[in-house]
Chain A
């Protein structure tokens, strides 16, 4: 795509030099409009990324010049048990959460699409969690999961399932699922709104045609509605995947990776190695960041490719 745009642009610039100023695309205006954004982008996005890549092959200790260590960090990372644990946790999160969010959201959207009463209120109520800061959400859910007086355990005891009560965030087996439930709580309403919008924009003729074909409600859903909103669903899965691969705030507020690294994510691990462990080396955490960057990129590309491929087969 970029090449198409570019080739004519080059010829254009030459033509403009030969002939006269290009009234439609004055260079000075383009420069003025674009420069501030480009400067901010270069200084606070491109440069830091480049710096991180540079770091990853150096030992970066305060008050000393960076020392070239080649790929030592990368080799070290290969046998870093904690890193792999963090990768496993994050990937689990990024695999499970999108499926949960999008499937529950589809059900909710269908409920609203079927015109249940109070749908406006419900939409607002379900969407609200996504507007909260992870800090607020984290503290709130720490209380809900609290063993002594948390809402979840209180509820279990109230319905006679007191045996199930436990410190949900304090046990290695339940901590990660508990946190996944929190992100699901946050993001499902958001996904629902998007899906509902996609459903509402479906051409009514298609649904009426299905009606005429004497299509049952479930059949209509399965054979007409879902295939039509499929691109939206795939988009949401990718979006949710990206979000979970970045997750930091929630973990940092609630468990900081505990217990026993059960909730350690790559983000929290990088943060700990860079700013908490007092190793005073920024090189190694940069290496983690670079590797993770590559994995996220591969994941996104892979998902996109996978979905594209299947879409093509179906047509």
Chain B
């Protein structure tokens, strides 16, 4: 505590403190970003080059590796699967999650508190407790190894947090707005579409971005519910590729970059929204 105040030491404690701070920040930044820089460099180098020196700069740049990842391995199929599954799940989530959240925020009805608590409490459930039962159910209903089944499962796992974020936002919309729309002659259904959703657009986009990223990265349910190669999503695909081509480090790095790039793009364009969504559950 004494060092916090100006004192008569020879080296100014302020500059000492500043130096320590800079070193600490530099070290942590290297720890946190170094791995990305490394994998990004490797993704543009051939495996032979990497074997010669894993840490050299990528020169010449082998952009063609991305093209061959697309054509030679199954990355194109994995990528398309991931995009379709994630987009479908996010679209359904937004609509039915938005409807439920609107309902919880707007209306008072029997069992409202109980229902909300039950849905919300699933956030802390460990996935093991659902995954085995889900596996059996999907097998019985012919949804095992099907993208439709995976979409529905994805909807169900992201539903609680989606409702939680949206409900908090919907509840802040003043009730008068809905009364005004009622008097203006609109039904409850069109009030939802024409007033609630547009007004809640910031929260809606937050959940869309959050769900997109989390589902894009989802692994456990996919690995349990999808076994056929042509239905695999990107995380499964990358892992599968690694299993097949253990030594082909350069090509695996390219696959990793294909999985990372969409996320980074979303992050670059929507970083504030994304951070909001990711941290929504943590701040009360």
A residues apposed to B, CB below 8 Å? 1-6, 8-10, 12-13, 23-27, 29-30, 32-34, 36-38, 40-41, 43-45, 47-52, 55, 60, 104, 107-108, 111, 114, 116, 122, 124-136, 139-141, 143-144, 149, 151, 154, 185, 188-190, 193-194, 197-198, 216-219, 231-232, 235-236, 239, 242, 245-246, 248-249, 252-253, 266-267, 270-271, 274-275, 282, 285-286, 288-290, 292-293, 296-297, 300
Contact = CB atoms under 8 A, between A and B. Distances in A.
Nearest to A23: B182
Given A6-B110, A25-B107, A29-B188, A197 B238 contact: no
Contacts of A252: 219, 223
B282 A236 contact: yes
A9 B114 CA distance: 12
Interface in B117-159: 117, 119, 122, 124-137, 152-153, 155-157, 159
Contacts of B39: 140, 143
Contacts of B63: none
A133 B259 contact: yes
B109 A270 contact: no
Given A10-B110, A141-B35, A29 B130 contact: no
Nearest to A131: B263
B129 A216 contact: no
Nearest to B39: A140
19 contacts: A13-B109, A29-B189, A32-B99, A32-B189, A33-B107, A41-B119, A48-B129, A49-B129, A49-B130, A52-B129, A55-B132, A116-B22, A126-B28, A133-B218, A140-B256, A216-B5, A252-B223, A253-B239, A293-B129
B177 interface: no
Contacts of B134: 44, 48
Q: Report which residue of A50, A136, A219, A293 has the largest number of chain B beta carbons within 10 angstroms of its beta carbon.
A: A136
A236 B218 CA distance: 22
A50 B4 contact: no
A111 B27 CA distance: 13
Contacts of B102: 33
Given A25-B108, A45-B122, A267-B128, A122 B135 contact: no
B113 A4 contact: yes
A142 to B, nearest CB: 9
A185 B31 contact: yes
A172 B205 CA distance: 45
Nearest to A108: B28
Q: Report which residue of A108, A143, A216 has the largest number of chain B beta carbons within 10 angstroms of its beta carbon.
A: A143
Q: Report which residue of A26, A45, A151 has the largest number of chain B beta carbons within 10 angstroms of its beta carbon.
A: A45
A38 B242 CA distance: 39
Contacts of A55: 132-133, 136
A130 B115 CA distance: 31
A32 B109 CA distance: 13
A25 B108 CA distance: 6
B161 to A, nearest CB: 12
Contacts of A139: 238-239, 242, 252, 256
* Those 6 A-B pairs whose CB atoms lie nearest each other, nearest first: A48-B133, A51-B133, A5-B113, A44-B156, A216-B4, A133-B217
Contact of B99 (A34, A50, A188): A34
A285 B157 CA distance: 21
Contact of B216 (A3, A133, A144, A185): A133
Given A29-B107, A51-B137, A286-B132, A136 B259 contact: yes
B59 interface: no
B91 interface: no
B212 to A, nearest CB: 11
A143 B249 contact: yes
Contact of A129 (B32, B54, B136): B32
A147 to B, nearest CB: 13
Contact of B279 (A36, A149, A194): A194
Interface string B57-101: 000000000000000000000000000000000000001110110
A185 B32 contact: yes
Given A125-B32, A274-B132, A114 B21 contact: yes
B28 to A, nearest CB: 6
A133 B124 contact: no
B155 to A, nearest CB: 6
Contact of A132 (B33, B54, B108, B263): B263
A61 to B, nearest CB: 12
B25 interface: yes
B152 A44 contact: yes
A190 to B, nearest CB: 6
Nearest to B182: A23
Nearest to A282: B132
Given A25-B109, A290-B129, A135 B119 contact: no
Given A193-B279, A194-B283, 17 more contacts: A1-B113, A2-B117, A25-B108, A29-B189, A33-B188, A37-B99, A37-B119, A45-B156, A45-B157, A47-B137, A107-B24, A122-B25, A126-B32, A136-B256, A139-B252, A144-B35, A271-B131
